[in-house]
Chain A
Amino acid sequence: MFATQHGGRRTVLTVAALSISALLLTSCSSSGGTTTGANPDAKPKTADGPYGKFPGEKLTLSRWAGDPWTAGQQTAATAWNASTGGNLTLAPVPYENLHDKQALTLSSGSDYDIVYVHPSWFGEFAKAGYLAPIDKYLSDPKRNPPGFSAASYQESVLKQGNYDGTQYCLPDFVSTIVVGYRTDLFQAAGLSAPKTVDDIIADAKALNGKDGASGIVMPGKATGAVSDVFSSLLTAQDNWWYDASGTKSTLDTTAATNALNFYTSAAKYAPTGLLNMAVDDAATVAAQGKAAIVVDTTPSLSALEDTSKSKTVGKWAYVPLAFTADKPGGELIYWNWCISAKSKNKDAAYSFLQFYTDTAQQAKVALAASTLGATKSFYTDKAVTSKLPFLPAVNAALSNSNPQPSLATWPKIQTAIEVAVQDAIQGKKTTAQAVAAMQDALKGLTG
């Protein structure tokens, strides 16, 4: 019943000219004067800053607490307040409880103006009428910097905030699963960069136990990341969980078996405790020099290059996941910024969202926390892109991508999928049984 929307498989993504890598070449001409880093002097100063004046208008923003993003957004809010005269405050809650808090608050008169919405509950919020449409803001030149419009965003990401033809949200937090490998260890063993998942397994096997490091590490705890990795493995084989209607399973048994075999093979060369490792645990193991290869989301991988957390800074190189060489794939991870339908200060709320999701601000987010912006000009901003070592791998992976599922039915299915993967790794289920369990879980798509 919730599955009528936008969560469908983007079968034509590869041909949908707006793949991120393609944009690197085309965005300058298509998006007018909004690029920031490449040529900062060529456009009016306001293009960088928040747009409009909202003296005394109060805004409350709902997001999760912790992580570098919250601190960074606090800084952005202070800057926006100073520039517009508005009064934006963050209302962070623990990550695991964000949905409950938002759902209950929005259902009851709401004191939120801006909500950070995960794909898995965007459709429900939009359907329930909790979110305000932003089409008219996006197309109003008075509300945006010169030349800025819906076309300034990556189409494939922006349309994830569209429900039944109405745009509700502006995206950011673009990320995917990529593979990091230790160049020093690879060199010492005479190995070349892994091009396919088979290479990864072979290299992990070869390097396992060398220099006190395991062959490979990745998330194994059922927190959603196992499903992200699995989704990426499916995407790289041009397969996906469900069809465009979001109600029918399209999971291909061969593709699922291949993906599962990768997981179970890799687990043989993984450190102790794999099945209780969340994304950050896997990244910590890698950062501490305890794994030669790591498969993880980009925000977690930022720990590898952070001197305060990593003993292996500068030793990593990144490639996308691929089953056949030069045919990578990845799940598009993103979040949506939306305005509450009951907000009294929607103009101000839009001003902040435009400011926050635009290139200049997202460049700061990217450098602090390694998620990417969703604007086209973000990817041409050399000042940023040159500092993100995994960006080429992300671009390659997202050139063939499926968006993270945004179905209300998904969280339960996702848990069942992750349990199946864990059972297969533990040998409690054969590969065939685990795939069958996934197929079975996908019956839940109909709600």
Chain B
Amino acid sequence: MTAQNTQWDRGGRRLGRAMIALPALILALLIFGPLIYSIVLSLYKWQLTDINSGKPFVGFANYVHLFTDPQVLNAVGNTLIYVVGSVGTELILGFVIASALFEMTKGRKLANSLILLPMIIAPVITALIWRYMLDPQFGLVAQVLSVFGFKGGISFFGTSQLALPSLILVDVWQWTPFVILILHAGMLGISEEQFEAARIDGAGRWRILRSIVLPGIAPQILLVLLFRTMDTYRIFDTVFVLTRGGPGTSTETIGLYTYQTGFSFFDMGYAMTLGVFILITVAIISSFYIRLLRRREVFQ
């Protein structure tokens, strides 16, 4: 906004400072304080139970370990597959469903409400739901398959080939609704004139989708990409309940490895190092998206 008057400007600056001060303090105290503490801790060898006693300072030893730890490489690889698989599927499926919703005239509100259901379910519940659904002996999928005469059952979480895709399926189930919500809202925000103009030009539906809707919701697409990437990159809770990283290490994600290092192996110093690693890598990925977001005019 353009400030026409220096007095306003001064008042605005003062108000701005006042409005920023307290939240900034809270953020500093609650996020950056603990974050700095955990960065400091990553320089120590610290067993969780020895919380009060000696933490030997080891400098960058944990970081050296990080870059020579084959499990980190494996975990990052699994995580990238998980991120690309989940976010990609969610985006495509979300776009299809949101476009379909957009065409609906009757029952849209009801469909919209029901579609949101998975998003409001806690991850631990989601994991329990899918552990039951995909159980090779007693799960609903196995029961339905047996009705069609397929008795063997499919081991969704019990083989290396299927475990990671099955985890992606769970993520898609839980988070596609969020993508739909945002993309659908974006479509509703596109002005009617644009549609009218396209129709007058005799544009078909595919064409409208491609040249009006898709560019119209480009900011929303990037936003969804950003938030879903950030969240899938550090996934651990559903993976922990469903596979624990197995079979073997085929579903061990970097978030799970960090969690287990800290809370199962008690090696807090190294867990903090892994946490810092997650933060830095996710920040790099995000800054790439943000640059795209910034240039969103390009899409329009």
Contacts and interface: CB of A to CB of B under 8 A. Distances in A.
Is B a genuine binding partner of A? Answer: yes
Interface of A: 2, 96-97, 99-100, 103-104, 107-108, 121, 124-125, 128, 130, 220-223, 271-277, 281, 284-285, 288, 290, 408, 411-412, 415, 418-419, 422-423, 425-426, 428
Contact of A275 (B138, B159, B242, B265): B159
B260 A272 contact: no
A340 to B, nearest CB: 14
14 contacts: A99-B266, A107-B49, A125-B49, A272-B136, A273-B136, A273-B153, A275-B157, A276-B243, A288-B137, A411-B264, A411-B266, A419-B246, A422-B247, A423-B247
A272 B248 contact: no
A426 B137 contact: no
A277 B152 CA distance: 16
Contacts of B135: 273, 281
B112 interface: no
B53 interface: yes
A428 B248 contact: yes
B102 to A, nearest CB: 39
Given A273-B153, A274-B158, A221 B52 contact: no
Contacts of A104: 48, 51
Given A272-B137, A276-B242, A412-B264, 14 more contacts: A2-B47, A103-B266, A107-B49, A128-B49, A273-B155, A275-B155, A275-B246, A276-B163, A276-B243, A277-B158, A288-B138, A408-B266, A422-B247, A423-B247
A272 to B, nearest CB: 4
B244 interface: yes
Contacts of B57: none
B29 to A, nearest CB: 19
B263 interface: yes
Contacts of A275: 155, 157-159, 246-247
Contacts of A425: 247
Given A273-B137, A275-B247, A100 B48 contact: yes
Contact of A426 (B48, B248, B267): B248
Nearest to B240: A96
Contacts of B48: 100, 103-104
B137 A276 contact: no
Contacts of B240: 96
Contact of A124 (B47, B163, B246): B47
Contacts of B138: 284, 288
A41 B113 CA distance: 67
Interface string B122-160: 000000000000011110000000000000111111111
Contacts of B103: none
Top 6 closest A-B pairs, CB basis? A273-B136, A107-B51, A275-B247, A273-B158, A273-B155, A276-B158
Given A275-B158, A411-B264, A128 B153 contact: no
Contact of A411 (B137, B242, B248, B265): B265
A285 B137 contact: yes
A273 B49 CA distance: 36
A126 to B, nearest CB: 10
Nearest to A121: B49
A196 B47 CA distance: 42
Interface in B22-72: 47-53
Contacts of B153: 271-273
Contacts of A274: 155, 158
Contact of A422 (B47, B49, B156, B246): B246
B245 interface: yes
Contact of B248 (A103, A130, A419): A419
Contacts of B263: 97, 99-100
Interface of A is mostly: helix
A408 B155 CA distance: 34
A103 B51 contact: yes
B248 A271 contact: no
Interface string B231-268: 00000000010111111110000000000100111110
Contacts of A107: 49, 51-52
A422 B137 contact: no
B155 A223 contact: no
Counting chain A CB atoms within 10 Å of each CB, the highest count among B152, B240, B248 belongs to B248
Given A221-B244, A222-B245, A426 B159 contact: yes
Interface in B199-217: none
Given A107-B51, A273-B135, A415 B160 contact: no
B108 to A, nearest CB: 39
Contact of B49 (A103, A222, A276): A103
Contacts of A422: 246-248
B177 to A, nearest CB: 26
B47 A408 contact: yes
A413 to B, nearest CB: 9
A31 B153 CA distance: 54
Counting chain B CB atoms within 10 Å of each CB, the highest count among A97, A121, A274, A276 belongs to A276
Nearest to A429: B248
Contacts of A426: 159-160, 247-248
B133 to A, nearest CB: 13
A297 B78 CA distance: 32
B155 A272 contact: yes
A320 to B, nearest CB: 27
Contacts of B160: 426, 428
A269 to B, nearest CB: 14
Given A100-B263, A415-B260, A124 B245 contact: no
Contacts of A97: 263
Contact of A128 (B50, B137, B152): B50
A221 B53 contact: no
Counting chain A CB atoms within 10 Å of each CB, the highest count among B240, B266, B267 belongs to B266
Nearest to B136: A273
B158 A272 contact: yes
A241 to B, nearest CB: 17
Contacts of B243: 221, 276
B54 to A, nearest CB: 10
Nearest to B160: A426
Given A285-B137, A408-B47, A415-B260, A276 B52 contact: no
A373 to B, nearest CB: 28
Given A288-B138, A408-B266, A415-B264, A276 B51 contact: no
